[in-house]
Amino acid sequence: MDGTADWRDLGAVEQLARAPLQQLSVDGKLIALSYQDGKFGALSGVCNHVGGPLGQGRLDGEYVVCPWHGWKYHCRDGCGEPGYEAESVPRYLLKIESGRVSIDLNSVTRRHRLPHPPLPLARPVADRDGPLRVLGISTTSMNKRNPRYSTSEALLIEALHHAEAAGAETQLQRLTELKFRACEGYYSKSARACTWPCSITQMDEHDQLTPVYEAFVHWADVVLVATPIRWGAASSLYYKMVERMNCIQNQITIANRVLLRNKVVALIITGGQDGIQAVAGQMLGFFAEVGCVFPQFPYIAHSRGWSAEDMEQNVRFVQESDELRAGAHQLVERSLATAAALRLANGTGERVQRGGRKADGLETKDSDQAAAAGVAPPRDNHAGVIP
Ligand code: FES
């Protein structure tokens, strides 16, 4: 603000008052223009969080709600919601003359951000050394108070014990024990609205997917994923987890940042009925796209076929099968051998170039505006931002 007014015509009052909130572009500046209780307000159209288009949000009383993750700013003074007033966006002076609204582009107040310490997940992925690390993820769902025998989880535990005997460190994550929210589809609003760490992880301290992200991205050399077959597909918890992992893949798209390097993934798939190849194909496709690599013969599986409805026999078969136990051992041996070779050849830090269709940059006006506004990378744990 240099003291010289720079008035620009926005349009007729009658026309502008029709929308309670709209995003305008004035000389390349994005403006969130509101009309509430007979008064206009003009703020920067770029949110402090990760650059959401404020004028495309909605009004909640006197507050503009960002359409991406719900941060709020007072529609006329630009201050954050009560308790976060200092988290403010620039505001502009308006005047009405002869039935027309004008904005002074030089009257802008400063953008101000509260300090938000980054979540530990956001740290750079470090090289891994020491013993190889094997993460087991069991995606089977069950009632903890009334548990049952899970054939996929039993084979996963067999593989983890074998890995420990071979000198690896191991950990087991059971998705059924974690309370985590379903992906809310921020990506579907804008690629830049899907952040790393996950926007839900940033906003909801009670969400429990964090240890899975932590182990998958920062800790493991080998990830063994075990799933039952449910109606010819992997378990619902598997899909709930991988939808939340869109943020890992999306870093390649929006930030040219490959979070997973030399990450070996292998699968354990069991079911009373068939569908193994369809399940394996979908799972391999997902893990390939987030940047994982596979050992030769990357899955073991068991099914007694389409007509097998006698599930008691299925459980007994797996419990008594030396072949499946040996298969689990060999799967983790192949995975460890692959991980050891990759560590030796490549190291594990963040040095991978993105490729394929993910090599395309994102060219959008809004993202340019966000960059110009100096909007910071995702880093918040701002309470109350979920509408
Ligand atoms: S970009 Fe506005 S709340 Fe996240």
Q: What's the CATH code of the domain at 256? A: 3.40.50.360
Give me the pLDDT at residue 309, please. Answer: 80
The number of distinct structural domains making up the chain is 2
Percent helix, strand and coil across the chain, each to the nearest 5: 35, 20, 45
Residue 53 included in any domain: yes
Distance of CA 317 to the CA centre of its chain: 38
Residue 154 included in any domain: yes
Closest atom of ligand 1 relative to the 66 alpha carbon: 2
CA distances from 312 to 16, 152, 233, 318, 319 (A): 68, 15, 21, 10, 11
Measured distance CA(380)–CA(51) in Å, rounded:
13
The arithmetic mean of pLDDT across residues 363-371, rounded, is 52
Closest atom of ligand 1 relative to the 192 alpha carbon: 1
Q: Within this chain, do residues 232 and 321 fall inside the same structural domain, yes or no? A: yes
pLDDT (tens digit, 9 = 90+) per residue, 42-59?
999 999 999 999 999 999
φ, ψ for residue 248 (rounded to 5)?
-70, -50
Q: Within this chain, do residues 106 and 232 fall inside the same structural domain, yes or no? A: no
What DSSP designation does 111 have?
P
* Token code pair at residue 164: 């420990």
pLDDT (tens digit, 9 = 90+) per residue, 303-315?
988 888 888 888 9
Q: Within this chain, do residues 110 and 163 fall inside the same structural domain, yes or no? A: no
Measured distance CA(224)–CA(331) in Å, rounded:
9
pTM score: 0.86
User: Which range has the worst mean pLDDT, 5-19, 150-164, 219-233, 335-349?
Assistant: 335-349
* Token code pair at residue 98: 């002869």
Q: Within this chain, do residues 220 and 193 fall inside the same structural domain, yes or no? A: yes
Q: Within this chain, do residues 142 and 97 fall inside the same structural domain, yes or no? A: no
Q: Within this chain, do residues 206 and 73 fall inside the same structural domain, yes or no? A: no
CA distances from 360 to 196, 206, 352, 355, 373 (A): 19, 35, 15, 9, 23
Query: Kind and range of the H or E element at 101?
Result: strand 100-104
Q: Is the pLDDT of residue 370 over 70?
A: no
Q: Within this chain, do residues 172 and 303 fall inside the same structural domain, yes or no? A: yes
- Residue 155 amino acid letter: L
Give me the pLDDT at residue 64, please. Answer: 98
Q: Which domain holds residue 335?
A: 120-365
Q: Which residue has the higher pLDDT, 118 or 266?
A: 266
Q: Within this chain, do residues 245 and 320 fall inside the same structural domain, yes or no? A: yes
Q: Which of 56, 64, 69 for mutating ligand 1's site (highest number of atoms within 8 Å of CB)? A: 69
Q: Within this chain, do residues 134 and 78 fall inside the same structural domain, yes or no? A: no
pLDDT (tens digit, 9 = 90+) per residue, 121-175?
999 999 888 999 999 999 999 998 999 999 999 999 999 999 999 999 999 999 9
Q: Which of 50, 184, 192 for mutating ligand 1's site (highest number of atoms within 8 Å of CB)? A: 50
Closest atom of ligand 1 relative to the 50 alpha carbon: 1
Q: Is the pLDDT of residue 382 over 90?
A: no
CA distances from 282 to 278, 288, 293, 380 (A): 6, 10, 15, 33
Q: Within this chain, do residues 50 and 191 fall inside the same structural domain, yes or no? A: no
Which residues does 281 contact at the CB level (< 8 Å), separation at least 6?
none
Closest atom of ligand 1 relative to the 47 alpha carbon: 2
Q: Within this chain, do residues 100 and 124 fall inside the same structural domain, yes or no? A: no
- pLDDT confidence tier of residue 385, bands split at 50, 70 and 90: very low
Q: How far is the CA of 1 from the centre of ligand 1 (A)?
A: 25
Q: Within this chain, do residues 75 and 166 fall inside the same structural domain, yes or no? A: no
Q: How far is the CA of 167 from the centre of ligand 1 (A)?
A: 45
Q: How far is the CA of 193 from the centre of ligand 1 (A)?
A: 7
Ligand 1: which residues within 6 Å by Cβ? 47, 49-52, 66, 68-71
Residue 377 included in any domain: no
